[in-house]
Structure 1
Amino acid sequence: MKFQCLIWVSSLLFAAQVCSMPIKCQLQLRLVETTHNLLENMAGPIPFQCLDEKFGIKLPTWALQSNDSKQDVGVTKAVFKTFMNMGSLMENDGIPQYWDSGKLENFENIVYRQISENICNLGVSAQENEDGFAQRDAALTHYFQKLAALLKEKEFSDCAWERVRHELLRVLQVILLENNV
């Protein structure tokens, strides 16, 4: 009888543990919204001296948009790759000193959490190829390469970082709008 109770309790504890685990390979929109808010509030508006600079980097919004009413596999993978690219950008030197370091750290932690919890999106399936992920990936890779080049070209100046921050805000905003948040 004690053995049966022990098995029963163990089964319940196991079930409770499994149910409480984070959902893997599913975009957590609450975290996307939190990253947007942290990025938005880690610094004020673009400094006045940076307003005149034009950089001509255009976000390929189509790469983050679904082809139908439900989010397709290609978009899910594109969002995952977007978080990977964001994480890489923020690893660069020269982040402005006036940015709130606590908010920046929280932002980075959530980005890395989204990456680690969605690493399974790296697998390529036939469905993803049909959804045009290769074109999405190429467009987003090119976009983030331009942002990285901008930082390097402008020697990681405050104005360049502010432009990148506002571009990343646009990216997060598109993700949120496409997922009806």
Structure 2
Amino acid sequence: MALLLSLLMALVVFSSGLVSSLGCGLFQNHVLVSKNTFMLLGQMRRISPFSCLKDRTDFRFPQEMVEASRVQKAQALSVLHEMLQQIFNLFHTEASSAVWNTTLLEQLLSGLHRQLEDLETCLLQEMGEEGSLLGMQDPTLAMRRYFQGIHLYLQEKKHSHCAWEIVRMELRRCVFVINQFARKIKK
């Protein structure tokens, strides 16, 4: 029991160090909520992905946006915010409500909303430190194009269950990338 308590205390001290090093509390909240988002997207599966193989497509995720080693922190936060906002927008539609379990969908949207609020706070703090929005449009524009492709795909497939399943799997991958990207920002 004492060992468990010591480990928990060490974890709390370590976590608070991470949070203070980031300055806005993003890392701790983001990682916890993103893991939950990833898990919820997994639980939302309603049909087998194998029954939707004919509907697969390459959405052409703009990997260069999250691999850039010299991305300013404000740009990185802007890209994260855009990704989460677009995922929120996809699932916050009438077409989405018709397909997914209402409880899981509400939990997903609530978590995404929390992450967006945290990112907005961090982005405002970072903008004050780094200056203006100049140079931030290009990375977010690439993300907007990527998500526009997903919207068009859903429309072309008439928001079918298989189309949503393919999109769910793509967004699950996207959330995984978001987590990896957030770890890079923290450093």
TM range (shorter): 0.7 to 0.9
Question: Which protein has the bigger helix share?
Answer: 2
Structure showing greater Rg: 1
Tell me the TM-score normalised to structure 1 length.
Answer: 0.72
Question: Please, what is the CA RMSD of the aligned residues?
Answer: 2.9
CA distance in 2 between partners of 1:39 and 1:166 (Å)? 8
CA distance in 1 between partners of 2:45 and 2:63 (Å)? 24
Deviation at 1:103, TM superposition (A): 1.8
CA distance in 1 between partners of 2:172 and 2:40 (Å)? 10
CA distance in 2 between partners of 1:113 and 1:147 (Å)? 23
Residue identity in the other structure for 2:42: E
Task: Decide whether the 8 Å contact of 2:92 with 2:109 is kept in 1.
Answer: no
Deviation at 1:65, TM superposition (A): 3.3
Identity %: 24
For 2:169, what is the secondary structure of its paired residue? helix
Residue 44 of structure 2, aligned match among 42, 45, 56: 42
Deviation at 1:180, TM superposition (A): 4.3
Q: Does 1:81 align with 2:102?
A: no
- Aligned equivalent of 1:135: 138
- Aligned equivalent of 1:32: 34
Q: Does 1:176 align with 2:179?
A: yes
Q: How does 1:115-134 map to 2 (within 5 A)?
A: 115-120=116-121, 121=123, 126=131, 129=134, 132-134=135-137
Tell me the TM-score normalised to structure 2 length.
Answer: 0.70
Unaligned runs of 5+ in 2: 1-22
Task: Decide whether the 8 Å contact of 2:91 with 2:97 is kept in 1.
Answer: no
Deviation at 1:25, TM superposition (A): 7.1
Residue 57 of structure 1, aligned match among 56, 59, 72: 59
Q: 1:131-163 deviations in whole A, cap 9, x for unaligned? A: x53221111000000111111111110111111
Q: 1:88-119 deviations in whole A, cap 9, x for unaligned? A: 11122333766433222111101111122332
